[in-house]
Amino acid sequence: MLPLKEKDKPIVQKLLSAGCCARCVLRFCCVNVQAAYRQPQQVGLVLHSGHVSTFCLHYPCPPTQPTSSCISQDIQCLHVSVFIAGRYNKFCRSLPQTPWVIDGERRMESSVEELIAAPILSAFRADGFNFSSSGREDVDVRTLGNGRPFAMELLNPHRSRLNKVEMKELQETINKSSDKIRVRDLQIVTRDAMSRMKEGEEEKTKSYTALVWTQKPIQTEDIAFIDDIKELTLDQKTPLRVLHRRALAIRQRVIHSMCTRFLDPHHFYLGLKTQAGTYIKEFVHGDFGRTKPNLCQLLKMDTDILELDVESVDVDWPPAIPE
């Protein structure tokens, strides 16, 4: 606000004497310099033009009493959102995390999101939901171990609370509905608590197991050196398979450790502990050189990935619930 100038004080006194609202007068004179329609020079022109009657007309004191009451056009009553969190395992290699629709056509008949959401929506009688998780796996990737953290915002739920026994029963209902997924640690959380889940998307570590194929025959000693590689930094250009939905960029990711288990002359299991956000498939086959270094370069032969499992998502959220 600008200070009241000496030259404006007589006019302000005149306006106040004429019965104008004191707050309106001071607000009109002590203006915010950033307001385009309240520039000081414009205020000065109005005040010094002598149109006090016009000012009093628009700013009477006391204000004019309304002649009609407000009329309500529509009233909507909505319940505040309820937030549900837990962890899920995915045991199927043909189940997407969210509904898979390409060019308006649905490719898979169900999804992790829908299998979890249907019983929860029914229990809380909610109108809709928003689903989120700490990262996501590809449709052909299983999520094992202690599962992946997820959260749901229930929109306009007609039931806002379930006790511990009811939440346990709801969890069992989800788990019995399909053998493709399993849920654990299902609980009601606050909106603020959900931010902890998102920390894991870039800052935490994740562990994987990959079944690798090699073009040339191998023996155990040919892959043993991989176990000694630590803190391997990758430069990963946006993979071709996700380029349609992710910006083209080179992202640095770290593989903290690896371990191998020989299977046969053309196959072995590769365990990895990596920075969250690492593209494992592209590290194994190289993605036409878009990921460097890659396993093809390390083994000096073509390699490909046949299966991939998420073994752990190292996010300590939501709190574990004893069985």
Residues 6 or more apart from 51 whose CB is under 8 A from it? none
Asked whether 295 and 307 are in contact (CB, 8 A), the reply is no
Are 266 and 217 contacting, i.e. CB atoms less than 8 angstroms apart? yes
Any alpha helices (H) in the chain, and if so which ranges?
Answer: 9-17, 22-29, 40-48, 52-58, 112-124, 164-177, 195-198, 220-223, 280-285, 295-299
- How is residue 86 annotated by DSSP? E
Q: Which two tokens stand for residue 277?
A: 């956000």
- CA dist 181 → 47, 96, 99, 152, 319 (Å): 73, 11, 15, 16, 20
Identify whether 40 is preceded by a cis peptide bond (ω within 30 of 0).
no
- Look-up of token digits 């008949």: 109
Q: Which of 138, 140, 304, 314 is catalytic?
A: 138
- Concerning whether 138 is annotated as a catalytic residue, the answer is yes
Give the active site residues.
138
